[in-house]
């Protein structure tokens, strides 16, 4: 996938200083020479975009998992409370017996 830089992006572009090992730089240059990327900058932008997308996707999955756990916990709490006839202390005891 190639990233396309728009004029707005070019106006706001910054040049962050980075350090990279010589071997990694040589491998990056190979990708540029093979035509996988137009330049080192193009390759680095692609890598950063990939990292950001991957992070955002993992955070979305995490949030969905948290919501599923919260929903399950609520259902379990309601089930135990119903079984305990509304007595919260007894509901806790039921929960402990069933789920621990």
Q: Give the tens place of pLDDT for each residue, 3-31.
A: 555 556 556 777 788 899 999 999 999 99
Cβ proximity of 43 and 50 under 8 Å: no
Q: Is the pTM of this model over 0.85?
A: no
Using CA atoms, how far apart are residues 38 and 46, in angstroms rounded to an integer?
Answer: 11
* Structural domain spans, the chain: 18-99
Taken in order 37, 41, 47, 50, is the CA torsion positive or negative?
A: negative
CB 43 within 8 Å of CB 37: yes
Percentage with pLDDT > 90 across the chain = 80
């Amino acid at each position: 996938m190639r990233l396309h830089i728009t004029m707005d992006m070019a106006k706001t572009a910054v040049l962050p200083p980075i350090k990279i090992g010589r071997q990694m730089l040589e491998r990056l240059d190979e990708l540029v020479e093979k035509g996988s990327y137009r330049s080192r900058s193009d390759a680095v932008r692609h890598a950063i975009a990939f990292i950001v997308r991957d992070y955002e996707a993992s955070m979305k999955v995490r949030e969905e998992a948290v919501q599923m756990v919260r929903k399950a916990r609520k259902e379990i709490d309601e089930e135990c409370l119903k079984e305990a006839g509304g007595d919260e202390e007894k509901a806790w005891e039921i929960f402990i017996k069933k789920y621990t």
